Structure 1
Amino acid sequence: WITRIEESIDKNPALAKSLLAHARAKFPKSSGLAFDQARVFQREGKLDEAEKTFVEAAQLSPASADVQAWTGRFFLKVRVNKPKALDYYLNAYFLNPDTYDGEYAESRIRNLNWDLAQAEVAKRNQLGVPVEELLNDANPVVVDQALQQISKNWKASYLNVALNCLGHDDEEVRWIATQLIKSHVDRSFDPTLKALLSDEDLRKRGLAAYLAVHLWKRDSFEIMKKMLTEDSELLRFDAISALILEGEEEGRRIALEHAANERHPLLRQLLEKAKPEKPQP
């Protein structure tokens, strides 16, 4: 049934419609038949029926990444309903990360999430919601955009909320918060920075390395050398990166000299790549 119907949808829509009517009556729980019928409804411009039938197909086939993705595509391209489209693309992605409907599900999700986050931030801005409240949103893209707003309109009171973001689950949010703090603190920040460098949260302690080398330069190097001996690969990575990015020539030399003692192969590889190329004879 399905093969004959799919061969007829483009070449002979009337035949496909007739076959579907008989097939669906005989096999009402077939997700493939429901999906094909939804396609026929869409071609005929019967969008309410198409929507209902696409949803039915997705419900009948919760383990089919393709059906979930193409239902998402219907909501994205035809209904322009981004929240519903995102739900179906997420279903598809977790069934098969390589799902493709003209674009990979991962890309669809990233773009949809960004668009929805932008709309949500704009809506809350219009309602006068304080930007600090946006930092508590479950969606890291909303938090990302809130930090961008804070960056453009910095106030001293924002420092504490930026510090809280150093413990966020999303690495991009953590990095943006670090750069934001770095751009707006001076040596009066020293007591807070010292506390961060001994924080139990290794993510905060590692990010504090960038702030320390940026603010203290040579005065941070002994602390960085100690961090390079830590068991945590995360801390060693952050110490290496901070020295290379913020430590100028001497800091870079300390990081590169550590290569001989580095235990993790990926960190050793990182250090080898950072070494200057030897001049050709």
Structure 2
Amino acid sequence: MMLKHLLSAATAVALTLTSVSLPALANETPEARGLAVATEWDKRDQGFGDTQSVMKMVLENRNGEQSVRSMIQKIFEIPDPDTGDKSLTVFQKPRDVKGTAFLSFAKILDPDDQWLYLPALKRVKRISSKNKSGPFVGSEFAYEDLSAQELKKYTYKWLREEPCGDLQCAVIEQIPTYENSGYTRQIVWYDLSEYRQQKIDYFDRKGELLKTLTFSDFRQYLDQYWRAHDMYVENHQTGKKTRLVFEEIKFRTGLKESDLTKNSLKRVK
């Protein structure tokens, strides 16, 4: 209910944010200002259709030892604002994880539908709604991190504005509205030039800082859509790190929603 009231209170502000300077929002509540920033972030990424990406995942333990995995990811945009996007991630290397596939249907307030195909067992395993905070295939990304980050999955609160590198950022507190999240809150830095997420601090169920995700190497596609080609997670509690490097991203490849189904998991390549 809180989110519904926030949406109605801030809709007019959020829809006109690009033509209104941030000082003009100073009289709005922190919740309305935070939602306005996040709404602009969401609005600028609408209409991309689909993407297919080639990625490298680098895992690093607390002793600095690394292992590398190669993977591809397909994302199909669902235009319905009350339904999340669909994504499929498939590991190609090394041999011990080749063919492992992860399918995610993002929801808003309900638990996401997620499945993991394990080729060694030749079976599809459904990810429990209570296990989405667990590590994704040994990385510092959780299953819920890899789901589409839909606007209505959080409530928002403006905290402050501050420099972030060479940019100026709005710092927003985001509270998950869905059950079984592994996080009590997230602190997100949005740059105020292009409204891209630059950094996220994740706080665990005890309210303690768990990890930080940093985005870098942004590139623009189709003169509109920004994508970070480097995503780096550092777990402050374990000392482990994971880096996702996007080697190639293609937009509007002709991907169909029917290409991302539970029945297709065993046939992925």
TM bin, normalised by shorter chain, reads under 0.3
Give the greater-gyration-radius structure (CA).
1
Higher relative contact order (CA 8 A, sep 6+): 2
Higher strand share: 2
TM-score under structure 2 length normalisation: 0.21
TM-score under structure 1 length normalisation: 0.20
Higher helix share: 1
